[in-house]
Structure 1
Amino acid sequence: MPSILLPQMVKIPEQYQRYIYPFSKPMLRTSPSFSRIEQVTTIPGCRVCSIVNIAEKETEISHYHKNKSITLQVTLQGRISTGTSTLDKGGYNLIRINAGHHKLLLAPGVNEFMQFDISPALLQELLPDSPFIHKKGNDHPAGVSNRKLMKLIAQIRQTPVTDGIQQLKLYTQITELIITAIIPLQTSPKNMIMNNPHHELITNIQTYINDNLHKPISLSQLAGIYYISESKLKQDFKKYLNSSVQAYLQEQRMQKALKMLQHSDNDITMIATEVGYTNVSSFNREFRKHYACSPKEVRIGS
């Protein structure tokens, strides 16, 4: 069956408006027998697509994937097949996609799904013990959408990114959805990861960092505590987390600060101290650099 290439329309006709959501600008591609509405947004480490395909008959389409990713697909309506797996309404799966062209087989009617292209670094950050980070092969672990998952999808689609506050809100929703979807998949016996001493060491170091964000932490200090050379620590951190120790430390400090701003009444000076800053001006500067808005703006918007 030949793949379909569609021209893009600038104005979205009225009959397609019910498939459009506020979270991003829509793109419509159409032919006499097939239409595709696509909306795309991104957060650091994840590209999110809402896709609606309307086909008069069974249709095969070709799409291009720019980067290699771990992709979470959630089918909301219809049936979608990638050739190696099939998803009916309410199903979702996790697949490893390489860069390049890929084919999708659509059943007749309306086929609607969400696709989350997750970088290994983000997955490692959210679920450091996940077996899917380094797992190879063609397994497609699958699950069934629950009420929480569907609620998060609805929230994501209804969140327009108009400023830094909304961007943070969207980031929180998407990362919560990723965790909600993946945790049930990785708890089945066939997906449990074998213990690796180097991976276990890095996991222990992550725990130490997360428990001591209020303290000064350095590469040499960590190497001394865990009896590992600085060069080996840097190498393993890069291998398992795709990050430097300093970048990981900074990310955890900023995430903890964000959660405290959103969910506690602590003043900004106290929050700065809790995440390792003795100077609140330095904290404000680094927070704005990280999230493109100030701690005060987050507090007002929460």
Structure 2
Amino acid sequence: MAIAYEKVPFDHGQSFRLLRWSDNVRDVQMCLPGGKVQPLVGAGEQWHFHPEVELTLVTHGRGRRFVGDHLAAFDAPDLVLIGSNLPHCWSELQDSSGYAVQFSIDSQQPLWQLHELSSLNHLLERAQRGLRLSGPMVDQIADSMQAMPQASMVQRLARFVDILASLAAAPPGSFEELSTTQFGLGEQDHHLGAISQAVQAILKHLHEPIGLDDLLAITHMSKSTFCRQFKRHTGRSFATFIKEVRINHAQRLLADTDRPITQIAMACGYHNLSHFNRQFREQCCATPREYRRSIGSDRQ
């Protein structure tokens, strides 16, 4: 079964954990004080959530970001703050590198009992929709995250507090809310594993037809239950989700390749060019050819 609820283990008294990867988000290292590392199997490519807040920095590479009902292509550097129990995943993030800091804001954690950190409460509430960060703060936080793996225990804590301070001091315009809605998922959610499988199947089979019956066979759910739970967990119907993922992929191919539009349509699962053009215009307010020209390319 695909990973759904990720249990993030913390050592007793630990305030946060630091992860890094150097190729893909499946092969992850947990960075321990003094430069030590522990290999882990990462959950980043799976549609999943966890109670811990996560700050993810992609330092190299490109891919697609899914946060709540948000979907977008991105290029490094990319810094995103993901709130507690907000479902998310990354797709096509190959030949990449980055870091993630995961931390619990449970009131039982000694660090979060400090009055000085109360200034972060509003920001953490906004993070329930996911926040993309921009501006000078990104470089400051990136420097702190990249210095943490070789730091001593006390130095790591100091760097972590520096990151929190940078977040607290950032101008409001530095944050872009990603998801249009909040998600109230929890550990006892019995449907998320099946929905995670459906999401992974859609991402894996972008280039070929995949319909409701295929997803019902994968998830072993009834039609009514699947449709209801898919929308609850992703914020959109499965048909809308498939369309948005395919058109988003088409945008990337139009920008990055010289391939003819007909070939791009086929590569995104469309075997009818008129249908592809119509759905592309609905989502992007432009035809594929107009979109390609608007980003500075005369490819046909």
**TM-score category, normalised to shorter length:** 0.3 to 0.5
Larger fraction in strand: 1
State TM-score, norm by structure 1: 0.41
Q: Tell me which structure has the larger Cα radius of gyration.
A: 1
